[in-house]
């Protein structure tokens, strides 16, 4: 496992990936072990200036690791962190990684491989208060990636580039706090194969030019919304739902309908359209006994194509 920190982005063009060439590597061989709660768990710390790596092994042989900047966010010399899984045993020994938490860095680079996953082939990755980052888990088995974004404005990049593999993965992108200024946050997420889900709750984008795109890839994929959404570009999803406590409205258009599954199922989410369709109709779904299922088959027609979706919430004019 290689963990480096530093600051290479001095002109708005660099990224934490550059730390591989000129970052400061944390020497994990100087671990300070704490066996005070052995055999229930043991832990170790490595501190290098304001960089702190902590790891805990519980009695179920689960390892929980955090990499933190203990100084101020955006602190000079501590803005970036680089983590990859070369020589993974430096971090995990004979055990596997249950979770990795990276906190208080502006720019994050993470590249994990399958050798770090727990016995179920799963790894939890938490990125807290980052402005931008690159996360690649194509070879890491099944992952749950939670990004709590933070920003200080539109200067330099606000882009998260996330790529997962062909396992069942979950990516969650939220704001870190009410003051996080995530209206500047951008992302490009590729979920690839597997039955994946993408959870989304950011402030409305400050500009129509911002990139907010997620590709569900192959298999059965679910988009989970927590607030009204009219600035999300998505493709290759089969299901859309919400876990919000309040009503949520999704804005659709012809491009979104064409880029997602025919028969896209939308549950618990109201639908609005940002473009002018030619015709729309809704037919109530009935089960084999002729009973109402609570869902409608909706057909939306434009001058050159028609699209179908399934939803439990319609405008009554569609069924007129």
Q: How far is CA 275 from CA 52, 65, 306, in A?
A: 50, 47, 14
Q: What is the pLDDT of residue 114?
A: 65
Q: What is the pLDDT of residue 245?
A: 87
| Mean pLDDT to the nearest integer, 68-87 | 90
What's the CA gap between 81 and 103, in Å, rounded? 10
User: What confidence tier does 179 reach under pLDDT thresholds 50, 70, 90?
Assistant: confident
pLDDT per position as a tens digit, 18-41: 888 888 999 888 877 777 776 767
What's the CA gap between 232 and 148, in Å, rounded? 17
Q: What is the pLDDT of residue 12?
A: 67
Mean pLDDT of the chain: 90
- The residue extents of the domains of the chain are 2-219, 245-320
118 pLDDT more than 70: no
74 pLDDT more than 90: yes
Q: What is the pLDDT of residue 319?
A: 83
| Mean pLDDT to the nearest integer, 231-245 | 96
Q: Which two tokens stand for residue 9?
A: 């982005």
53 pLDDT more than 70: yes
pLDDT per position as a tens digit, 256-285: 999 999 999 999 999 999 999 999 999 999
In the block, tokens 């990859």 appear at 84
Q: What is the pLDDT of residue 121?
A: 65
User: What confidence tier does 97 reach under pLDDT thresholds 50, 70, 90?
Assistant: confident
90 pLDDT more than 60: no
Q: What is the pLDDT of residue 178?
A: 84
Query: Is 219 buried (19+), middle (13-18) or exposed (0-12) by CB count in 10 A?
Result: middle
Q: What is the pLDDT of residue 147?
A: 98
Dihedral, 3, 86, 112, 49 alpha carbons, nearest 10: -10
Point out which residues pair with 64 in neighbouring strands.
Answer: 56, 99
Looking at per-residue confidence, does 140 or 241 come out higher? 241
Nearest to 212 by CA among 129, 147, 128, 262: 147
Minimum mean pLDDT among 19-23, 118-122, 220-224: which range? 118-122
Annotate the chain with DSSP letters as a single string. Answer: -EEEEE---SSSS--GGGHHHHPEEP-GGG-EEE-TTTTTEEEEEEEETTEEEEEEEETT-EEEEEEEE-S-TT-TT-SEEEEE-TTTHHHHTTSEEEEEEEES-SEEEEEEEGGGS-TTSEEEEEEEEESEEEEEEEES-EEEEEEEE--S-SSS--EEEEEE-SS--EEEEEESSTTS-GGG-EEEEE--SSS-EEEEE-PPPS-TTS-EEEE--SS--EEEESS-BSS-EEES-SEEEE--SS--EEEE-HHHHHHS-TTEEE-S-EEEESS--SEEEEEEEE-TTS-EEEEEEEEEE-SS-EEEEEES---GGGG-
Q: What is the pLDDT of residue 34?
A: 75
Q: What is the pLDDT of residue 240?
A: 98
| Mean pLDDT to the nearest integer, 81-108 | 80
């Amino acid at each position: 496992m290689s963990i480096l920190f530093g600051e290479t982005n001095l002109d708005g063009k660099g990224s934490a990936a550059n730390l591989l060439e000129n970052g400061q590597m944390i020497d994990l061989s100087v671990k300070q072990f704490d066996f005070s709660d052995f055999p229930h768990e043991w832990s170790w710390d490595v501190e290098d200036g304001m960089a702190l790596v902590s790891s805990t092994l519980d009695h179920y042989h689960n390892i929980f690791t955090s990499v933190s900047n203990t100084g101020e966010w955006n602190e000079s010399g501590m803005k970036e962190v680089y983590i990859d899984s070369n020589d993974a045993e430096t971090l995990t020994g004979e055990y596997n990684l249950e979770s990795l938490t990276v906190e208080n860095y502006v720019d994050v680079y993470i590249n994990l491989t399958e050798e770090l996953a727990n016995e179920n082939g799963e790894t939890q990755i938490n990125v807290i208060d980052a402005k931008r980052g690159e996360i690649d888990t194509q070879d890491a088995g099944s992952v749950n990636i939670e990004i709590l974004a933070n920003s200080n404005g539109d200067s330099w990049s606000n882009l998260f580039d996330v790529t997962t593999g062909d396992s069942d993965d979950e990516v969650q992108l939220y704001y870190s706090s009410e003051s996080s200024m995530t209206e500047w946050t951008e992302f490009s997420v590729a979920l690839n194969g597997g039955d994946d889900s993408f959870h989304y709750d950011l402030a409305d984008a400050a500009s129509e030019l911002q990139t907010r795109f997620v590709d569900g890839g192959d298999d059965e994929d679910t988009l989970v919304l927590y607030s009204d959404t009219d600035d999300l570009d998505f493709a290759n999803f089969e299901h859309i739902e919400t876990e919000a406590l309040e009503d949520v409205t999704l804005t659709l258009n012809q491009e979104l309908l064409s880029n997602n599954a025919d028969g896209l199922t939308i549950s618990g989410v109201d639908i609005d359209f940002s473009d002018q369709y030619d015709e729309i109709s809704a037919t109530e779904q009935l089960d084999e006994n002729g009973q109402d299922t609570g869902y409608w088959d909706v057909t939306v027609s434009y001058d050159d194509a028609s699209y179908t979706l399934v939803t439990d919430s319609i405008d009554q004019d569609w069924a007129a």
